Structure 1
Amino acid sequence: MSRREAFGNVTAPLPWEAEAGTGIQRTIAPTDLWREFLRGGYPELVAQPGRDIHPWHAGYTQTYLERDMRSLRQVGDLTQFQSFLRALAARSGQLLNLSTLARDLGVAVNTAKAWLSVLEATHQIFIVRPYFANIGKRLVKSPKIYFADPGTLSHLTGLRDPDHAAAGPMAGCLMETAVLGEIIKTLTNRGLSPQVYFWRTAAGVEVDFLVQAGTKVIPTEVKKSATPRPAMATSLRAFQRDLGDRMGPAYLLHSGDGRPPLGSGVIAVGFAKL
Structure 2
Amino acid sequence: MPIPRRTRASLLAAARQQLVVGVTGPRQAGKTTLVRSCFSDHAYLNLEDPEHRDFAQRDPKGFLAREGGMILDEVQRVPELLSVIQTIVDTDPRPGRFIVTGSQVFALSEAISQSLAGRIALINLLPFSIGELADGGRLPATLDALLITGGYPPIYDRDLPPRTWLADYITTYIERDVRQVLEIRDLASFQRFLGLCAGWVGQLVNLSALATDAGVSANTAKSWLGVLQTSGLIALVQPHHRNYRKRLVKTPKLHWLDSGLCCRLLGIQDAAHLATHPARGAIFESWVFSELVKGRFQRREAANLFFWRNHIGEEVDLLADHGQTLLPIEIKSGATIASDWFDGLRRFAALAGAEAEPPVLVHGGTTTGQREGVRLIPWNDLATLADAV
Query: Equivalent residue of 2:219, what SS?
Result: helix
Match of 1:192 among 294, 297, 301: 301
In structure 2, the partner of 1:34 is 144
Matches within 5 A, 1:102-113: 102-113=211-222
Q: Do structure 1's residue 75 and structure 2's residue 202 form an aligned pair?
A: no
Shift of residue 34, structure 1, vs aligned partner: 0.5
Q: d(CA) in 2 for partners of 1:170 and 1:190?
A: 31
Shift of residue 230, structure 1, vs aligned partner: 2.4
Percent of pairs with identical residues: 37
Question: Do the aligned partners of 2:307 and 2:315 also contact (CA within 8 Å) in 1?
Answer: yes
Q: d(CA) in 2 for partners of 1:27 and 1:4?
A: 8
Query: Equivalent residue of 2:375, what SS?
Result: strand
Shift of residue 252, structure 1, vs aligned partner: 0.8
Q: d(CA) in 2 for partners of 1:82 and 1:193?
A: 30
Question: Do the aligned partners of 1:28 and 1:272 also contact (CA within 8 Å) in 2?
Answer: no
Shift of residue 231, structure 1, vs aligned partner: 1.8
Q: d(CA) in 2 for partners of 1:112 and 1:224?
A: 30
Shift of residue 28, structure 1, vs aligned partner: 7.2
In structure 2, the partner of 1:47 is 157
Question: Do the aligned partners of 1:98 and 1:109 also contact (CA within 8 Å) in 2?
Answer: yes
Query: Equivalent residue of 1:7, what SS?
Result: helix
Query: Equivalent residue of 1:273, what SS?
Result: helix
Question: Do the aligned partners of 2:139 and 2:146 also contact (CA within 8 Å) in 1?
Answer: no
Shift of residue 91, structure 1, vs aligned partner: 0.8
Q: Do structure 1's residue 2 and structure 2's residue 129 form an aligned pair?
A: yes
Q: d(CA) in 1 for partners of 2:257 and 2:322?
A: 21
Match of 1:205 among 295, 302, 314: 314
Structure 1: which amino acid aligns with 2:285?
Answer: E
Q: Deviations over 1:43-83 (max 9, x none)?
A: 111323x3211110011001014431121111121111011
Q: Do structure 1's residue 249 and structure 2's residue 358 form an aligned pair?
A: yes
Looking at CA atoms only, which structure, 1 or 2, has the larger radius of gyration? 2
Structure 2: which amino acid aligns with 1:44?
Answer: P
Q: Deviations over 1:146-170 (max 9, x none)?
A: 1110000000001122122122201
Structure 1: which amino acid aligns with 2:155?
Answer: L
Match of 1:162 among 264, 271, 283: 271
Q: Provide structure 1 residue ranges, at least 5 long, that are not aligned to the other structure.
A: 10-25
Structure 1 runs of 4+ with >6 Å offset:
none
Question: Do the aligned partners of 2:174 and 2:187 also contact (CA within 8 Å) in 1?
Answer: no
Question: Do the aligned partners of 2:151 and 2:260 also contact (CA within 8 Å) in 1?
Answer: yes
In structure 2, the partner of 1:16 is none
In structure 2, the partner of 1:269 is 377
Matches within 5 A, 1:53-72: 53-72=162-181
Q: d(CA) in 2 for partners of 1:268 and 1:106?
A: 43
Highest relative contact order (Cα 8 Å, sep 6+), 1 or 2?
1
Query: Equivalent residue of 2:242, what SS?
Result: coil
Tell me whether 56-65 or 212-221 shows the greater mean CA deviation: 212-221
Structure 1: which amino acid aligns with 2:245?
Answer: G
Q: d(CA) in 1 for partners of 2:339 and 2:370?
A: 8
TM-score in terms of structure 2 length: 0.63
Tell me whether 61-70 or 249-258 shows the greater mean CA deviation: 61-70
Q: d(CA) in 1 for partners of 2:359 and 2:156?
A: 31
Q: Provide structure 2 residue ranges, at least 5 long, that are not aligned to the other structure.
A: 1-127, 383-389
TM-score in terms of structure 1 length: 0.88
Shift of residue 104, structure 1, vs aligned partner: 2.1
In structure 2, the partner of 1:171 is 280
How many residue pairs match? The answer is: 255
